[in-house]
Amino acid sequence: MKKIIVATDFSENSDSAFSYATFLASKFNAELLVVHIFFPMVPLDPNLAYDTIAPSTLQEEMVKSYEIQLKTIVDALTEKKIKAESELIVGSLSVSIADFAKNKKADLIIIGKTPDTSFFDRLIGSTASSVVNNTSVPVLIVPAHSHTPSFTHIVYGTELESEEKNVLARLFDFAREFHSKITLIKINADFELNVQDDKQMLKDIQEGFSKEQFAFEAIKADDVSEGLLSSVHNHKADLLVVAGHHHDFLSDLINPSKSKKIINKTDIPLLVYDIEA
């Protein structure tokens, strides 16, 4: 891991995400790219002049303020011997971070998540899902007020599909750095279609990763995301990992992805890998 992107809005809701970012940057001796996304104000009425709603001087002052705050963050990181740079980007959060990550060839994106208690908070959760859907880079979503960065016990929500093997390889590489305990959990729900035989797929995983130590559990639940999150808490795990698929807009409306539901509900750090990457 050489480059890590962390998004900040300069509020305490970003503090936990920033803690994880500095922890991982130090661990892997990686460069930390601190990003703030600035979405400029626009007139609500297209017939009004732009300056009537958002004077250009006001936006210029906001930009200067953001740049000063970013510089302060980078200076503090430099004092801690962490290589860092900052970027102020104008645009939407999900698309801007995805493009920035692609251009910088980032290895990980870290974003914060507020408690899901209001419409605005649910919108933030939806934005996190949008970031995941717009990038093939792994995304670590850190809820506000998360515990001190630690990866003692990692739970991976598996569907026991052959295409997960690439994700598992990356997960084992990551966990090895922290000597983490790994538990693979398969949630069985009545409405879930089993494409492959679970026993055979589990055997294939055990043989393919014979040098890795991990536990496996199959759990019955009415809802996959709620069952998985409940299991994570029962295990007192400090990181949940899932593999996400890219979906087009129509299919996401008809059958929202499990990873999106988990993103919106999770109250512990969640690492999402793109299963197709």
Per-residue pLDDT of the chain (277 residues; tens, 9 = 90+): 999 999 998 988 889 999 999 999 999 999 999 999 887 765 444 554 544 445 667 778 888 999 999 999 999 999 999 999 999 998 877 788 999 999 999 999 999 987 654 434 444 445 777 888 889 999 999 998 898 999 999 999 998 988 899 999 999 999 999 999 999 999 998 766 565 678 999 999 999 999 999 999 999 998 888 999 999 999 999 999 999 765 443 344 334 466 678 888 889 999 999 988 7
Comparing C-alpha atoms, which of 25, 8, 4, 18 is closest to residue 88? 8
Q: pLDDT at position 252, please?
A: 42
Domains and CATH numbers, the chain: 3-143 (3.40.50.620), 153-274 (3.40.50.620)
Question: Phi and psi for 34 in degrees, rounded to 5?
Answer: -90, 125
Give the CA dihedral 246, 250, 251, 256, nearest 10 degrees: 90
Give the CA dihedral 101, 3, 175, 12, nearest 10 degrees: -80
**How far is it, in rounded angstroms, from Cα 114 to Cα 226?**
19
Q: pLDDT at position 41, please?
A: 61
Locate the DSSP E strands across 138-220.
139-143, 153-157, 181-188, 215-220
Residue 54, CA distances (Å) to 51, 60, 273 in order: 5, 10, 39
**How far is it, in rounded angstroms, from Cα 146 to Cα 183?**
21
Residues 6+ apart with CB under 8 A from 228: 155, 157, 185, 187, 221, 240, 242, 262
pTM (2 d.p.) = 0.87
